[in-house]
Chain A
Amino acid sequence: MSDNEKFGVDSWTPELLKQRRRRAALMGVALALMVGMFFIVTVVRLSANMAG
């Protein structure tokens, strides 16, 4: 069921949709940064272990 069907066709105003898109974009960026952080830290730790 789509959000519009769930909440009613007129429920999502353009402003609310814009706000939701911004939140989703920010969450996407945060998740990408998180993945990047895990990757980089793993590389750093592996490098340190190999050097050791």
Chain B
Amino acid sequence: MSQSTQETIVDGKEPVSLDTGSATDFIALMKPRVMSLVVFTGLIGLVMAPGTMHPVLVVTAVILIALGAGASGALNMWYDADIDAVMSRTQERPVPSGRVDREAALTFGLWMSGLSVMSMAVLINYLSAALLAFTIFFYAVVYTMFLKRRTAQNIVIGGAAGALPPVIGWAAASNSVSLEPLIFFAIIFIWTPPHFWALALIKNDDYKSANVPMLPVTAGRQATLTQILLYSLGLAVVAMLPYALGFSGVIYALGAGILNIAFVGLAVLLRFASDDNRNRVAGTLFAYSIFYLFFIFVLLLADRLAVS
């Protein structure tokens, strides 16, 4: 028996796993790469909000947003262990690979959820704690347990969870939510489908074998390419709202305009790409979409700093 799955029998009962994973495995459970984007957008929400916040409170809020995001990731990996084991992209994750016991992942996720939300309520404010709790619930329960395996709109609706961190950040700093953070929410919400559908195009066989109804699996490649293009056009419009509504200035408008042209251009290229080139262009769009979101928020911040 391999060490990673070492088990022993206690009084003839069910095998007890002694190996519940290393510290590194538990960090991997928190999906650090996803967490980094969540932390970044949450921080921008914090910094952009009106009023001043003590730096210690800013760091505390960011840590708690990160813990909440990590908790969601752990709960997602607990529930999705069966399909993660089937897909090449995810089969090396701690739970499907057997490095972390499934129950340990659940326990870890629940503790982290409770800890992050309670601490947010005690140390920051109730509004940001409520939003953080809602985000964890939406991602772990609504998206992971209900939407992901049932509908091709899984990541469209589920994208709301990933779009909330800047709103949480804003609420943490100002104890309120206004139109501005809701526009940040809208940008990430509209950005999510083309980002994930580009990945789903490349990993179509994975999702098919795991019976996950991603759009390329249920509606086919051509319909997905059209949807990516339509959402990209929608994103280009929504991303200009901060300027149109007077929240941001020319610096943001120019930068976002260039980023939008490149995003829509890639979506058009993908829509009309040949079969041989499609996966390569989809990979480029997927990578660019991460770069795009990062720089949209950098521009929002740069514009605000330039004005003040």
Contact = CB atoms under 8 A, between A and B. Distances in A.
Contact of A7 (B10, B22, B56): B10
A13 B2 CA distance: 12
B177 interface: no
A19 B56 contact: no
Contact of A41 (B3, B19, B20, B56): B56
A15 B3 contact: yes
Interface residues of B, number: 21
Contacts, number: 47
Contact of B123 (A13, A26, A38): A38
B8 A7 contact: yes
A37 B8 contact: no
Contacts of B33: none
Interface string A30-51: 0000100110110010001000
A16 B57 CA distance: 38
A3 to B, nearest CB: 9
Interface in B116-166: 119, 122-123
Contacts of B22: 19, 22-23
Contacts of A44: 54, 56-57
Interface string A1-32: 00000111001110110010011001000000
Interface residues of A, number: 19
Contact of B18 (A16, A22, A23, A38): A16
Contacts of B20: 23
A22 to B, nearest CB: 5
Interface of B: 3, 6, 8, 10, 16, 18-23, 26, 54, 56-57, 60, 63, 115, 119, 122-123
